[in-house]
Chains A and B, each alone.
Chain A
Amino acid sequence: MKQRQSSIASVAAIAAATIIFSLLMIALSGSGLTAALKGFARGAFGSSYSIAEVLVKAVPLTLCALSVACGFYSGFTNIGAEGQFYIGAVATTCIGMYLPFLPGPLLILLSLILGFAAGGIWAAVPGWLKARFGISEVINTLMFNYIAIGIVGILLQTVLKDPKAFFPVSSYMPEGMWLPRIIPGTRLHAGLVIALLSAAFIYIFIWRTWPGFRIRAVGSNSRACRCAGIGVGSSIMLSSLLSGGFAGIAGSVEIMGLQHRLLDGMSPGYGYLAIVASLLGGSNPFGIIAASIGIAAIQVGAQGMQRSAGVPTAISNIILGGVVLLILLRPMIMKAIGGKAHD
């Protein structure tokens, strides 16, 4: 009982600290507090358009955060969702450019499957290196980001470049492949449905199926799994494949739903922000949806704040950094509030 109380209290303490910290930051930036807050609220929730904008950002973020969580379950720390996102996007672009004659729904389905496969394989390489040789995936997945972004850059200067464009961008995907808009007059697209379905799928897979159990078991005590005859390496591989796969789908969805073509710097760091979202969401698929929407709201709101009160948008990143720090410190905060640990 007492544990629950101090747990709730610690969350409240973190929330309070975050709000005070945010207000302080805004005040420090020298803008009027009320104007800034009004700008924030209007930016994030002021109209159906702004709410849709929040969700538009939340879609790739959710998918990338699900990716991070899929790795986390088996103890595979995936810092590489950013790179896997781009690889998935590249796969989708290739399909759109080389198979434009196929019917739209088939193109979409194919893009999702190949986006998943491409991102999955991109992550499974560090996964294999970890499973087979015990090489740290943290460094590898990070390095793979640079490689992936480099590859995108090269492709956009060469084979994938739209010859008519001045900038390094690909040509537009065939319109049949664009995901339908789900609120007219806004940019919100059917990728939202894909993200929600993905969360439900992961929830069922991880908590209801045998391979999902193996992934969790390996993440919790790999030595016991070895003694029980549960393949540790294969579970890590599977988890890394899933992990990369959902980041790949994020890239694919972002192309089909929003950008409609591949461009350099397409992700404002979704792959990294996803680590925060996954942490905030407690690695629970539904928690991750909530956390992603929250983070997207902060970012979109910060843009509103900049427009109406001149507060720099960088403030949203500073706030998120502070929140992560507080969450990591939560056990200490809990102890300080609740006294003794209750195991």
Chain B
Amino acid sequence: MFLLSFPGDLMEAVLTMRHISKSFFGVPADDDIDFDVRKGEIHALLGENGAGKTTLMNILYGIYEADGGEILWKGGRAEFRSPRDAIERGIGMVHQHFTLVGRLTVSENITLGLKSRGYPFTDRAYLDKKLEEISARYGLPIEPGKRISELSVGEQQRVEIMKLLYREAELLILDEPTAVLTPGETEEFFRVLRRLRSDGRSVIIITHRIPEVMEIADRVTVLRDGRKVCTEEIGNVTEEKLSSYMIGRQLRHIERQAAAAGGIGFSIRGLSMEEGGIPLISDLSLDIAEGEILGIAGVDGNGQKPLAEAIVGIRQYGSGTMSLRSASLDGMSVEERKRLGIGYISDDRHHDGLIMDMSLEENMLLRSDRSGFIRKGFIDFQKLRKETERTVERFAIKTHSVDMPVRLLSGGNQQKLILGREIYSGVHLVIAFQPTRGLDIGASESVRELLLSYRSQGCSVLLISADLEEIFSISDRIAVMHGGRIMGTVSNDGHADMTEIGLMMAGKEMNA
């Protein structure tokens, strides 16, 4: 086998993982996987939700211990007993869900856990200077003194990467780094990756977006159901080929039928909100008909989150009125609003959407209409289990049982559980905030189909997404948000002017 190697395989592999296997509760998450990364290579890891990507990387990073197999790092056998171990040997990982401390500054986060010059009276000025050097070198603009909680997700991402560079990682493992980025930020981010590559560092990048793989990666490895399907040079594959490797079939193309929109479903008039004197939303009005999907396009952080939270009732609003099917929502609590049939998919599943330490079943109890699960104050576990199992089946959630803590589900499967909980018969309005973030292409496709099918049943949908392609694929109308205001609304009839939308996203007002 070694004698028959192709020339490509002779290139120096800095990391080799051989025959790696790992099971949880007797079910294999990774099954006999071979994987290698060369020096100065960007290697993409592709696979559906629950295919075993994160698990494989966690094994490499010393978080999990493999049941079998071996790891070679820079020519020698290596076993990393903990992330600290891996970091010391030059391997760094940015997790699917960030691990920064919100109250601390950028610089404090980056040096957290390290004994820096002057320790324990750390010489901040010196560190900040060093950080600025690294930041200039790789084109990662950051402000060391800012608090993490003030940063956008894109900026937090930069901090995570800076953290690895500061620790001089030679191999960077990035678990779904682009899921949270806007297209512009992604471009920026890829420039950084290329600079890292030309610097001789290696990168493993996990993503669900095939076009991104084609754009940035040198090679790609595809996993399916815990097994390796193949490793290929990017030059030897096409997008279609990759997607069929990944899901074992061709993607359907979503057909959006023209809407037969009904009466006014949901409307907002003159909504204004502020926080600490800074306006978040100013005089915003919108209407969504019954059976209509309104897409909100815009760069993250332009008031989308306050808007969603105001509608659900999580945030108070200073002025403005809202109504759902001509019932006024003003002054109602979250519970009362959701009772009227509002489903909410938050963009932050770990904090807003799920109770990580509770089981799938118990998380199902967070659904607003729990009348079916509760009898005389007692939880009807039989019914609850039935409904949870139905959801697991309908959304193809990969799990060993509905008793398992949600924490142990893969990221995409966690998202599917929220969808199954929030979108059910009886909702009249769905607030879908980044609903497909972290979902694989097959699952994203079914979510979009689900939203469309609810639309055809007369449900109003507010789709907030930084992913323009997603907005265009299912919205009936598209509103562009900037600085807490709606800059303009266009009909998505196939003639929408992309330049116009781009201009509005950048803050130019249009009167369409």
Contacts and interface: CB of A to CB of B under 8 A. Distances in A.
A176 to B, nearest CB: 35
Contacts of B358: 216-217, 220
B353 A224 contact: yes
B337 interface: yes
Contact of B366 (A224, A231, A342): A224
By secondary structure, the B interface counts as loop
Nearest to B334: A229
Contacts of A210: 365, 370, 374, 377-379
Contacts of A272: none
What is the size category of the interface that chain A forms with chain B?
20 to 34
Interface in A221-265: 221, 223-231
A211 B377 CA distance: 7
Interface in B40-88: 62-65, 81-82
A140 to B, nearest CB: 23
Given A213-B365, A220-B355, A342 B81 contact: no
Given A231-B335, A343-B407, A208 B366 contact: no
Nearest to B312: A227
A224 B354 contact: yes
A229 B337 contact: yes
B473 to A, nearest CB: 27
B253 interface: no
Interface in A166-225: 208-211, 213, 216-217, 220-221, 223-225
Contacts of A217: 355, 358, 362, 365-366
B314 A227 contact: yes
B377 to A, nearest CB: 5
Nearest to B25: A1
B104 interface: no
A340 B65 contact: yes
Nearest to B422: A228
A227 B64 contact: no
B333 interface: yes
A339 interface: yes
28 contacts: A208-B378, A209-B379, A210-B365, A210-B378, A210-B379, A211-B377, A213-B365, A217-B362, A217-B365, A221-B351, A221-B354, A221-B356, A221-B357, A224-B351, A224-B353, A224-B355, A224-B366, A226-B314, A227-B334, A228-B366, A228-B368, A229-B313, A229-B336, A229-B368, A340-B62, A341-B63, A343-B63, A343-B407
Ranked 7 nearest A-B pairs via Cβ: A229-B335, A229-B334, A228-B366, A227-B352, A221-B355, A220-B355, A229-B338
Given A209-B377, A225-B355, A227-B346, 11 more contacts: A208-B378, A217-B355, A221-B356, A224-B355, A227-B312, A227-B353, A229-B313, A341-B63, A342-B64, A343-B64, A343-B407
